[in-house]
Amino acid sequence: MRPEDLADQIEKAFGPEQYPGDNRLAKGSSMEATEVSTFLRGRRWQDLSVEELTRNHESLFFMTADAVRYYIPAFLIASVRHYDDSDQIPSTLVFFLNPCAMNDPHYQSRFRERFGLLNDSERNAIKAFLEHLRDTHSEDFPSSSGKNQASQVLEAWAKREW
C-alpha cells in the first residue's frame, strides 16, 4: 500500500473520534501528565506537526484511553508520511502497540483499556500501519527472535491477544 493510501485509511478510520475534552487528555497528575495536557489542550490531532510529535513521542504513554484514540492517528500518519523525519515515533509506536511489551499486569490492563474498544476500521488501520512498517522498514525493528518487532506486534494484533 502506498504511504498516501495508508495515511488516508488511518484518517478515515479515526476521523469520527471526538476531542476528549481538556480534562481527559492525560492520566494522573505527574509532571509528565501535566506537560502532555498542556501540549494537547484544545488542539486537533490534524494540526500537530511532525516536529511537535517528534518532541512529544512519549506523550502517548501518559494519555487517557480517549486521548489515545483521538491523537494516535497523528503519530501513525507522521510515521507513514515522514518516516525519515519522525525520529523515535515509529519505535515508540511499535512498543506502544505491543500488548506483550511488558510482562506486567498493570501494563496489560492499560493496553486493554487503550485499545480494547477500537472499532474494526480503527484496528484494521493499525494493522495496516504495522504491515507497512514490516514491509518497508523491518530492518529498523530487529529482534533476538529472528522475526522483526513490527511483525511480532502485527501477529499479536491479528490474533487480538488481549
Contact assessment for residue 29 and residue 3, using Cβ atoms and an 8 Å cutoff:
no
CA dist 35 and 62 (Å) reads 9
pLDDT value at residue 161: 65
How does DSSP classify residue 49?
A: -
pLDDT value at residue 133: 98
Residue 110's H or E segment, with its range, is: helix 105-115
pLDDT value at residue 162: 66
Domain that holds residue 122: 3-159
Match 500501519 to its residue by C-alpha cell: 129
pLDDT value at residue 120: 96
pLDDT value at residue 36: 97
CB contact burial 110-145 (16+ within 10 A = b; e otherwise) = bbeebbeebeeebeebbbbbbbbbbeeeeeebeeee
pLDDT value at residue 65: 96
pLDDT value at residue 148: 95
Residue 64 dihedral angles phi and psi, to the nearest 5°: -70, 165
**Domains identified in the chain, total number:** 1
Q: Per residue of the chain (162 residues), give pLDDT as tens.
A: 899 999 999 999 999 899 999 999 999 899 999 999 999 999 999 999 999 999 999 999 999 999 999 999 999 999 999 999 999 999 999 999 999 888 888 888 999 999 999 999 999 999 999 999 999 999 999 998 889 999 999 999 999 866
Question: 3-class SS at 26?
Answer: strand
pLDDT value at residue 108: 87
